[in-house]
Amino acid sequence: MSDIFISPSEDVYIVTDFMATDLHTPLESKKLEDRFAQFFLYQIMRGLKYIHSAGVIHHDLKPGNILIDENCDLKIYDFGLAEAQRTGFDPTSFYRAPEIMLMWQKYNEKIDIWSAGCIFAEMLMGKPLFPGKDYENQFRIIIQFLGNPPENIVANVASQNALRFIRSLPECRREQMQKLIPGSNAKAAALLNRMLQFDPAQRISAADALDSQYLALYHDATDEPTATETFDWASLKADLTSDALKTAM
Angle, in degrees to the nearest 10, between helices 110-125 and 186-195: 150
Which residues sit opposite 146 in a β-bridge?
A: 174
Q: Which residues contact 63 (CB under 8 A, 6 or more apart)?
A: 22, 23, 24, 27, 119, 122
Cα gap 191→174, rounded to integer Å: 16
Amino acid at 26: P
Out of 11, 17, 22, 60, pick the active-site residue.
60
Amino acid at 156: N
Cα gap 204→114, rounded to integer Å: 9
Cα gap 136→29, rounded to integer Å: 27
232 in catalytic set: no
95 neighbors 62 (Cβ within 8 angstroms) = yes
Residues taking part in catalysis: 60
